[in-house]
Structure 1
């Protein structure tokens, strides 16, 4: 089978890009040839004789919206000329507007646009207006893309519901949850000093984009006020982030440790006691499953797709992302009980081991084979 995948990134250390990377590895293992129309491709894949990379350049464009448009135009032009060279085409959302056999949805912009936590609804300024435009246009393009796709893959049941809400036939949808690297994320211990984090205190971790409100660090900080003995490590780019200032205003500067953007998140997770991630809108939330694989109890919200694998034995799922007191109570409960954290961490690890990337990649490639056989 000759497979073509069109997406921005096919690299190991990037959310959706990681899913793409694992799918390509499994396709190669089964002897298939894979054409990758992408901006970035892992060097390991570039060196494989079964892989052909068609690079798309979006350098020099000032916004994500313009970059995405350029990628769409260039990829469509290439597909129009070369579609006869492969047997099956997989795309991601509205990354291109060429008809596809499989379209995998890791994010539904229509759902985010309807969310009461959308940036525009909280920031009535130029930045908020840009976010509204970006989301609204992508929502429009998504509707076109699902109409042109034979099968849609949703990364959670929540994403499936959102696709149905915008008119997708449920019979076209397959649910394949995202996976986790249980070899990189493992229950080990690291010295906090190497990350400039305090020893001999209970330490929670938050990781995500802290330049916008979607990941909900503000509620974590307000909740932390009610848990006076708990410290918090924050991984995320602080450039233009309002949260260092908010932490200072709340009197939390000595207990909140901003580490900036880091690529060693797997190591940092080994140095903390539990993970907190009450996102306001999250199609899945791979960082939560990575924390579970590290053997950490987790706190997340029902709106997050990853909540579908979090059990009461492994973590806490909050019904309301804005409930400061409920979040504070959950953090206080974990902060005060070391034995409970240990028990929940073991349960979390056991769940993560059932959702490895290799197992998810096999499901994807099985689906490719099923569709290819149907076309024969």
Structure 2
């Protein structure tokens, strides 16, 4: 099959960007012809030579309108192409299938925002066009499927729930044998409980709550390690900021827990990545990935209940958990199963 994958940017960071690379590599391995269509790309983000990349740049268009203009350029481009299947990982409206890794109305509702800004209106407009024009929508969680039905009035038969996959070549329990070596590599203490926080949207993902908690935990062996952007300036001795890191499998292996008190998280790919690496999680009940976390794998807490998070961080131990080594397979989270399910959904659109 000749398959088009559409995304706004081709870069090396971010959950959706990892999925773009995972999808591309798997489809190539299965003998498909893959073309990638983006608005911009980073020169250090290299796809296999067999992949043709089309860059449809919005140029000097004001930022608030760039996604809309990219969608316009995409529409003109797609009229000249003949793909067997097209999948968009973003808010576009000229493809067969579209991912719903999140939506703006759900975000506004969860964050108690009115959405009166121009940027809010544009994102909602793009969401509605993408969900209306695509033949099928692939929701990242049951939480997203519910929001599609209730906030966007999408019929159930148009929605399929496929949780984001995990690259099991990178994220695996065997990495834990290198725990001490990775801690030394990143100058992390060997004798402390490490709580790993991964984020590129610190407020939404709960960093203020964590800093409040760790301010009160300086008398314990708990250390917060932050991986992501933007950089975090903290004077707390039990907070370490590693900033962005491309070797996330090493950080999961070095950590005792992955912690994610998100106020709104449509899925949270770091959750299955962490669990596939043998590292238990502490996450909020407003995280879509809570659907695949049981008592052997982690703890689920109210998103803004600081006292609950403080108590849990103070007392939790790795011995409280027993994560199955085949966690990803038990929840159908391998890249192979995920992409084959997408192809099966695509066949229903012919």
Provide the rounded CA distance (Å) in 1 between the counterparts of 2:147 and 2:244.
31
Residue 115 (structure 1) aligned to one of 110, 113, 123: 110
Deviation at 1:168, TM superposition (A): 0.3
Pick which of 290-299 and 349-358 moved more.
349-358
What is the correspondence of 1:139-288 to structure 2 with a 5 Å cutoff?
Answer: 139-165=124-150, 166-187=152-173, 188=176, 189-191=179-181, 192-210=183-201, 212-227=202-217, 228-229=219-220, 230-239=222-231, 244=233, 247-248=234-235, 253-288=236-271
Matched, 1:294 2:277: yes
Deviation at 1:317, TM superposition (A): 0.9
Q: Secondary structure of 2:53's match? A: strand
Provide the rounded CA distance (Å) in 2 between the counterparts of 1:164 and 1:309.
21
Q: Which runs of 5+ in 2 are unaligned?
A: none
Q: Relative to structure 1, is the Cα distance of residues 260 and 203 closer, same or farther in structure 2, using a 3 angstrom cutoff?
A: same
Residue 91 (structure 1) aligned to one of 88, 91, 96: 88
Matched, 1:365 2:343: yes
Provide the rounded CA distance (Å) in 2 between the counterparts of 1:60 and 1:197.
43
- Deviations along 1:123-166, one digit per CA (max 9) or x if unpaired, are xxxxxx8xx43233111221122111111110111110110011
The TM-score with structure 2 as length reference comes to: 0.87
Q: Secondary structure of 1:196's match? A: coil
Q: Secondary structure of 1:257's match? A: strand
- Deviations along 1:315-340, one digit per CA (max 9) or x if unpaired, are 0011x210001111221232xx3422
Q: Is the 8 A contact 2:22 2:167 kept in 1?
A: no
Q: Is the 8 A contact 2:111 2:264 kept in 1?
A: no
Provide the rounded CA distance (Å) in 2 between the counterparts of 1:24 and 1:264.
20
Q: Relative to structure 1, is the Cα distance of residues 12 and 176 closer, same or farther in structure 2, using a 3 angstrom cutoff?
A: farther
Provide the rounded CA distance (Å) in 1 between the counterparts of 2:344 and 2:93.
25
Q: Is the 8 A contact 2:16 2:89 kept in 1?
A: no
Number of positions where the alignment pairs a residue of Structure 1 with one of Structure 2: 337
Q: Which runs of 5+ in 1 are unaligned?
A: 122-128
Pick which of 274-283 and 264-273 moved more.
264-273
Q: Provide the residue aligned with 1:325 in structure 2.
A: 307
Deviation at 1:60, TM superposition (A): 6.0
Q: Provide the residue aligned with 1:124 in structure 2.
A: none
Q: Relative to structure 1, is the Cα distance of residues 59 and 259 closer, same or farther in structure 2, using a 3 angstrom cutoff?
A: farther
Q: Provide the residue aligned with 2:328 in structure 1.
A: 352
The TM-score with structure 1 as length reference comes to: 0.81
Q: Provide the residue aligned with 1:77 in structure 2.
A: 76
Greater helix share, structure number = 1
Provide the rounded CA distance (Å) in 2 between the counterparts of 1:301 and 1:5.
31
Q: Provide the residue aligned with 1:43 in structure 2.
A: 46
